[in-house]
Structure 1
Amino acid sequence: MRHLASMLAATLLAGLPAVAIAQDTLRLRMNGDINVLDPIATTNFTIRNASYLMYDTLFAMDAQYQVQPQMADSVTISDDGLVYVITLRDGLTFHDGAPVTAGDVVASLERWGGVDGLGRVLFSKMDSIAATDDATLTITMSEPWGLVLDALGKISSNVPVIMPARLAATPASEAVATPIGSGPYQLIQDEWVPGSIAVFEKFDDYVPRDEPVSMAAGGKVAHFDRVELTYIPDTATAIDALIVGEIDWIEEVPADMLAFFDGQDDAKPIAARQAGNSMQLVVNHLNAPFDDPLIRQALQHALEQTPFLQAAYGDATDRYLECAAVFFCDTPYASDANTDRVLNRDVDAARALLDEAGYDGTPVMLMHVGDIAVHDAYYSVLKPMLEEAGFKVEVQASDWATVATRRASKAPVAEGGWNLFFTGWGYVDQINPMTNVYVAGACEDGWFGWACSEELQQLREEFAAAATEDERVALAERMQVLTHDLVSYVPMGQAFPSQGIASNLTGFIDSPVPFFWNVRRAE
């Protein structure tokens, strides 16, 4: 099997240009295809991770989870907390050679603020945002709000990246076709082949900040002339390509493949605890059968976390944690409130709820993702569990890029819609009720699944305005109770993946998001 995988890897990589194996090239395999490069049009982490190569942000989060200026040089806040005057730093240039202006920043933030959960809250509390000159923008709030800079410096999806104003005019529902950023690497559009490869080159006109790198903040120094993101659907093939030196990094190594690295000197797995995900089964509230709340609760009874976690991680119990806390376990807002249906499987209760709801056998369509090993394992467990509980199930083989696109559809299943899909949000996204998409209750304006609750919307507003931590803890627990009753998703536990890395690379940043500035080859 290993020999065959090595042959497949060699065959796959053989078609790439000779520069692909040059020492000044960093070669990466992410979880899924790079079919768009617009982190406003999608929350897909694969696209987010790739986009950080080419886009920069106004503010950024450092290793202490504090927001720091990034494209901003300085920010002045009025004594009443209503006016933020932000000055851009010198030397900001887009990849097409045009200077970055405050007008570009305003247009980019307005686009982001129309789709991101935290961005929407920010803009709802804003009187105005405007460029006062090419280097300065002013945000005027309608009321003091202490999370303005936290919103502008959020590290994960949707990331408030800055692009030219003409591209920011693209509706957020449409991905920008010709992406242009101002970050340390620029996309080589002519070499971008979705389904195969995305190529970036060092942007010589990028001026890093002077401060040392600290997670997403500080000096973003590009040490490679070229970065290639190669799509290798089969994980075993990708690991063999890493071991033989054809690629340099793999985003996730399944537990049952860690042994591939035994006795290898040129590549190794590394723990990525900060990149831990809370795995979720997302539920579409618009399509039958899960438009019925009783059937959604039957879904909760039909499942339990342990078989999924064991299928994905085997006996590596240090790599996962059973957890039904909406805001992650072992965090300030962790709670076990209203988790009985989630943690304790009860097939009889599931069948009883289906009978009560008058379930008519409407099939549950599963988009079985095969190009991410963990997802593949989870879908394999899901189908028999649902069938045992009385659901009729249909399966369509898919890949992650297809699911990440299809999940945006609100159409019936027969017309390109969906019922359920697995995903994984990270620690930094989920611990804060202002960025956790499952507690928004924003109906058809919300994240995929479109769970609807006016009470959740109100609680989120109260959380944003809460004066004490005790108030915030109580509000977070109430949000958890409502979220599990609403069933916007079914929690599938927490996981702490391993990444695969070439042994001659150094400088990786410990972060919940993989960054590739500061990375270099050891001499």
Structure 2
Amino acid sequence: MKSWVYASVLSAVASLPLAIPAAAAEPVRGGVIDVATIGEPPTLDPMASTADLVGIVSQHIFETLYTFGADWTVVPLLAESLPEISEDGRVYTIKLRTGVTFHDGSAMDSADVLASLNRWETVASRGKQAAENIDKIEAVDATTIRISLKEPYAPLLSLLAFNNAAAIILPEEAQAAPMDKVIGTGPYMLKERKPDQYIQLVRFDGYQSREEAENGYGGARHQYLDEIRFVPVPDANTRVEGAVAGQFAYVDSIPVESFGRLAGGKTEPVVLKPFGWPVFVMNTKEGVLSDVNLRRAVQTALNPEDMLIAGFGSTDFYAVDGSLYPEGYAWHTEAGVEAYGQGDPEKAAEAVAAAGYDAAKPLRILTSRQYEFHYKMAVVAAEYLKLAGFAVQLDVVDWATLTQRRQDPKLWDIYISHSPFLPEPSLIGMMSDTAPGWWQSEAKTKALAAFNTEADPAKRAELFAAVQQVFYDEVPGIKVGNFNAVSAKVPALQGFTPAPWPYFWNASLAK
């Protein structure tokens, strides 16, 4: 056995790292912050959801064996260190930290981890994805877990580190699904949840922080704040006005057209550039778009630039780009992008007719106004698709309802979402056969198998071109482009590190 630094994500992201706060005076301990979110999370169980909103809240309560550092490499969290990996890449031996306590006062050991990983394999879409490659998981002793793989699987640590469909560690006795007890090891614990009003988290006095320096989502997690309240504010304009008035310490997801409104207000803008990509996810399992020819017709019809203009207004906030990762990322490739950005509904109409589309079956687009840019892009897309001969039905619901409905293939044909640029491509939802959209094919399986069984980062980057090519050939989704995200915070909120999933350990309130 030998200790490996997990290399597959080491060079995955060449963009700007998460910021590391400059050294300053000892932060003030105490205080309460209100954080405005885009709505009510559908659950607090991050295994059961891939919604970013769930991950933002729940990452304060629950922890995983690993997480991501400031340079997006995998770093240990509840694990003592990076795993020992066998020479053939099939056996991961993970030592656990000792002295870690759950919110109910019980001590974490390998029995809890084993039960949690077994739950993850059955409850979480990313756990199911990993389970296809896992032979068995064993508790070697009270502080050691061993994961044996059927074949080498490079994304494993990234899947264990991610904060949605997350491999959180729960007490062995609290493994019910659906979750009935909110008990984690995180720096904050749930005190009260009043649906549509707030989720109140308070400091967990028994928390055992890592001793390393702060490092992105990893390293020390200081609990300077007494309390964090996540307040659902579904209306975008209400979030903006709350930010201008300084009603909240932090406001997530500010519409970019309101950027100028923050000037002169009581908060300051926080911009992540580039943040990620809006995506139209296709229902490949049943319904209108189970026919790949009609999915290709949708791709041909849509004009990404028009959708991006509608969603973001200015090129200060978007870029027209069909590659799944922008230039500067190790995963960047131009494979397949000639199919991107055609904006040709007349050509698409010919394909729609040739495929024998039945206009009595509307193409149902599921979207939400809580992310206003989702809705605006949907409106533009609907017009292009009508020109292509589709009967279009726009279903506008709240975000929590969308995340529930997308689980049922009978209820939609396209749903609109977005994702940050993730450090490991296999974290992208559509790469899982069981994620909503249910994209499965021999070509996908073959391309992903070659990509995921290769350990060398440079070779993996080359192999990702084949994955992106299959994405464009089979159209399980449509990347609209790149976008920058805007949020806002009060100047008094110090030690806050801008991040795709904002976190508030290590943050404090100045006097």
TM-score (normalizing by structure 1): 0.86
Contact kept, 8 Å, 2:126 with 2:166, in 1: the verdict is: no
Pick aligned residue for 1:420 from 399, 414, 426: 414
Partner of 2:106, secondary structure, is coil
Quote the residue 2:4 is aligned against: none
Mapped pair 1:308 → 2:310: no
Partner of 1:273, secondary structure, is strand
**Structure 2 CA distance, aligned partners of 1:44 and 1:390?**
32
**Structure 1 CA distance, aligned partners of 2:199 and 2:86?**
47
Q: 1:78 to 1:436 in 2, by over 3 A?
A: closer
Mapped pair 1:106 → 2:125: no
What one-letter code is carried by the residue in structure 1 that aligns with 2:173?
R
Q: 1:304 to 1:249 in 2, by over 3 A?
A: same
Quote the residue 2:12 is aligned against: none
**Structure 1 CA distance, aligned partners of 2:438 and 2:63?**
30
Q: Percent identity?
A: 27
Partner of 2:324, secondary structure, is coil
Quote the residue 1:384 is aligned against: 383
Question: 1:108 deviation in Å?
Answer: 1.4
Question: 1:509 deviation in Å?
Answer: 1.9
Question: 1:458 deviation in Å?
Answer: 1.9
Partner of 2:305, secondary structure, is helix
Quote the residue 1:436 is aligned against: 428
Quote the residue 2:369 is aligned against: 370
What one-letter code is carried by the residue in structure 1 that aligns with 2:223?
A
Contact kept, 8 Å, 2:346 with 2:387, in 1: the verdict is: no
Quote the residue 1:507 is aligned against: 495
**Structure 1 CA distance, aligned partners of 2:295 and 2:75?**
42
Contact kept, 8 Å, 2:276 with 2:484, in 1: the verdict is: yes
**Aligned-CA RMSD value:** 2.3
Quote the residue 1:349 is aligned against: 347
Quote the residue 1:135 is aligned against: 143
Task: Note the 1:119-518 alignment, pairs <5 A.
Answer: 119-120=127-128, 122-143=130-151, 145=153, 147-152=155-160, 154-170=161-177, 175-188=178-191, 191-264=192-265, 266-273=266-273, 276-315=275-314, 317-361=315-359, 362-410=361-409, 412=410, 417-428=411-422, 432-440=424-432, 442=433, 446-466=434-454, 468=456, 471-518=459-506
Question: 1:359 deviation in Å?
Answer: 1.2
Q: 1:35 to 1:149 in 2, by over 3 A?
A: closer
Partner of 1:472, secondary structure, is helix
Contact kept, 8 Å, 2:278 with 2:417, in 1: the verdict is: yes
Mapped pair 1:92 → 2:100: yes
Contact kept, 8 Å, 1:88 with 1:102, in 2: the verdict is: yes
Q: 1:386 to 1:79 in 2, by over 3 A?
A: closer
Quote the residue 1:41 is aligned against: 48
Question: 1:166 deviation in Å?
Answer: 3.2
Q: Name the structure where helix makes up a greater proportion of residues.
A: 1
Partner of 2:34, secondary structure, is strand
Contact kept, 8 Å, 1:37 with 1:50, in 2: the verdict is: yes
**Structure 1 CA distance, aligned partners of 2:68 and 2:260?**
35
What one-letter code is carried by the residue in structure 1 that aligns with 2:168?
V
**Structure 1 CA distance, aligned partners of 2:83 and 2:331?**
32
Question: 1:468 deviation in Å?
Answer: 4.8
**Structure 2 CA distance, aligned partners of 1:332 and 1:76?**
24
Contact kept, 8 Å, 1:287 with 1:418, in 2: the verdict is: no
Question: 1:288 deviation in Å?
Answer: 2.3
Instruction: Single out whichever of 327-336 and 340-349 deviates more from structure 2.
Output: 327-336
Instruction: Give runs of ≥4 in structure 1 deviating > 6 Å.
Output: none
Question: 1:241 deviation in Å?
Answer: 1.9
Question: 1:235 deviation in Å?
Answer: 1.6
What one-letter code is carried by the residue in structure 2 that aligns with 1:298?
A
Q: 1:309 to 1:48 in 2, by over 3 A?
A: same
Give the unaligned 5+ runs of structure 2: 1-29
**Structure 1 CA distance, aligned partners of 2:64 and 2:253?**
26
Q: 1:142 to 1:486 in 2, by over 3 A?
A: closer
**Structure 2 CA distance, aligned partners of 1:374 and 1:185?**
32
Instruction: Single out whichever of 391-400 and 297-306 deviates more from structure 2.
Output: 391-400
TM-score (normalizing by structure 2): 0.88
Give deviations 1:315-373, integer Å, cap 9, x for gaps.
2x122111111344442232223223321111111110111011111112223412222
Q: 1:98 to 1:323 in 2, by over 3 A?
A: same
**Structure 2 CA distance, aligned partners of 1:104 and 1:449?**
32
Query: Larger relative CO (CA 8 A, sep 6+): 1 or 2?
Result: 2
Number of aligned residue pairs: 481
**Structure 1 CA distance, aligned partners of 2:41 and 2:167?**
19
Contact kept, 8 Å, 2:37 with 2:234, in 1: the verdict is: no
Give the unaligned 5+ runs of structure 1: 1-22
Partner of 2:194, secondary structure, is coil
What one-letter code is carried by the residue in structure 1 that aligns with 2:219?
G
Contact kept, 8 Å, 1:364 with 1:392, in 2: the verdict is: yes
**Structure 2 CA distance, aligned partners of 1:455 and 1:438?**
14
What one-letter code is carried by the residue in structure 2 that aligns with 1:326?
L
Question: 1:109 deviation in Å?
Answer: 1.6
